[in-house]
Amino acid sequence: MTQLSTRQADRLITALRHGQTLDTTVAELGLDLSAVWNRARTDTRLAIVLAGRDPDGPEEAARTSRADFLRLLALGVAPSRAELIVGVSSTSGWRRDPAFAEACDAVSSAAAPYSTTRQMRLTPQRVARFLEELSKPRTTVLAAAAAVGVTPPAVYQRRRRDPEFAKAMDQARDAARKAWSA
């Protein structure tokens, strides 16, 4: 089976966005339909246009992020880690959508037997890197945690049980604020 090049995929997407039919476009471009299906597994824009929607529409970014989040859950990634990977905050409001929350729960339940999630620990090296990241202007706990490969819940859990760590976090945040206002 031949593979679609990026240029071929882009030409196919453009033609489909302009209303041409899949069969006609595939024939005109001399493509193999099985190569189109194969490429659509990893090419989000192609999958979206094959679903009959505009992949460049503003609503597609949110839909794609949600789909990526569900895919990660299906792979056994913990929700907090999936949020870091997709780049959304746990306060994004996704879970307030009952249908999406139900989908997340169903996917997580289905993946549970295969899940081997191992929590990344806040080692002394990670703590040092986390505090260094947090002391940079305009850096959130989410961003600093992601930079060192831990989840925000792990950071806040450590903060609650370790007064020295809480104090160091406060100092890092103060340093970031001072650097920002300077």
Residue 93 corresponds to which amino acid?
A: G
pLDDT the model gives residue 169: 94
For residues 65 and 108, state if they share a domain: yes
* 128 plus 167 within the same structural domain: yes
pLDDT of residue 1: 58
Domain-embedded: residue 119: no
| Residue 118: per-residue pLDDT | 54
Q: Which two tokens stand for residue 171?
A: 């100092």
**Whether residue 71 sits in one domain with residue 23:** no
pLDDT of the residue at 27 = 92
Query: Residue 41 half-sphere exposure, CB side, CA atoms within 13 Å?
Result: 7
pLDDT at residue 80, rounded to an integer: 76
Dist CA 101 CA 43 (whole Å): 25
**pLDDT for res 56:** 86
Give me the pLDDT at residue 94, please: 72
Question: Tell me, what's the pLDDT at 151?
Answer: 80
- Say if residue 63 is in the same domain as residue 108: yes
Q: Label each residue of 82-151 as H, E or C.
A: HHHHHCCCCCCCHHHCHHHHHHHHHHHHHHHHHCCCCCCCCCHHHHHHHHHHHCCCCCCHHHHHHHHCCC
pLDDT of residue 91: 58
- Residue 29 resides in a domain: yes
Overall number of domains in the chain: 3
160 and 177 within one domain: yes
Structural domain boundaries, residue 134 = 124-181
Amino acid, res. 60? E
Q: What is the pLDDT of residue 165?
A: 94
Sign of the CA dihedral running 47, 53, 58, 62: negative
Identify the segments of the chain with pLDDT beneath 70: 1, 90-92, 113-120
Residue after which a domain boundary falls, among 91, 114, 137: 114
Which among 88, 114, 140 is the end of a domain?
114
Q: Which tens digit of pLDDT belongs to each residue from 33-79?
A: 999 999 998 888 899 999 999 988 888 888 888 888 888 888 888 78
Q: What's the confidence (pLDDT) of residue 59?
A: 84
